[in-house]
Amino acid sequence: MRIRLDIAYDGTHFRGWAKQPTLRTVQGTLEAALARIVGSDVQFVVAGRTDAGVHASGQVAHVDLDERQWSRIEARHGRAPQDPAGTIAGRLRGVLGAYSDVTVLRSSIAPDGFDARFSAVWRRYRYRLADEESGYDPLRRLDTTSIRGRLDDAAMDAAARTLIGLHDFAAYCKPRPEATTIRTLLDYRWARDADGVLVAEVKADAFCHSMVRALVGACAAVGEGRLDVDDLAVLRDALTRTSEFKVLPARGLTLTEVGYPTDDLLSARAEQTRARRDAAAGD
């Protein structure tokens, strides 16, 4: 039985999503909690493997439960009109405890063909950046990066839009062996919220390692006047990492949403994504 899980977490005290020996990670914490419920080990597949310190309000994962594990869920919640799959989220919250820095918002039986990672068609991130105009809010210190001086939000927004489209973003990624850096940046914009905080909305089919924080750092350099609006596309097309801007801290970054096609297209999308990944890796 494949279960979809909608997840949120404060990434401050996690060493990222992916499970690592001796380190506290989101995946490791959630898998341990669900294993207590179903009586044996489980493995999550996630839409986006966030780095250390990155938050999520709209992360998506799936987990496959075998017949024996599923029976442990049904044994407690199998009477109509109860929804056994829907109770998993509540039971996980109980195991994780009150005021946990990770929670499961919803759980449900996944549609046929659903794969949290490969069926996704886009991911959306938000980055919060405070400058002298907005000031410092201690209540938002864990999800907002602060920077000195006043940033030119109009210039940052204009620069962000020059990067939209299908491109090789090698200049804005930390390279990984046999991994492509070609991505389709679907949307990238900056605006100040009601409190004056600069908020970036970044949407792409997928992101390579540290890509969003590099894109944000480049626009911040434009906002400070250290780079011109048109420089970001020039740097992108050079295809090499540069010291012209800094990659900004993880604390301001939150994965807010993952997009999927209609249920009838989930399987085809997953096959298409896997094929593209294998081609890029030279398999």
Distance from C-alpha of 164 to C-alpha of 157, rounded to nearest angstrom: 12
- Nearest Cα residue to 161 out of 221, 203, 214: 203
Distance CA 117, CA 50 (A): 13
Spatial separation of the C-alpha atoms in residues 187 and 49, rounded to whole Å: 20
CB contact at 8 A, 124 and 201: yes
> Could you confirm whether 283 is annotated as catalytic?
no
Burial class (CB in 10 A: 0-12, 13-18, 19+), 174: middle
Residues 6+ apart with CB under 8 A from 234: none
Quote the CA–CA distance of 56 and 257 in Å, as a whole number.
8
Catalytic option among 6, 51, 115, 157: 51
253 phi and psi angles, rounded to 5 deg: -105, 135
Among all residues, which ones are annotated catalytic? 51
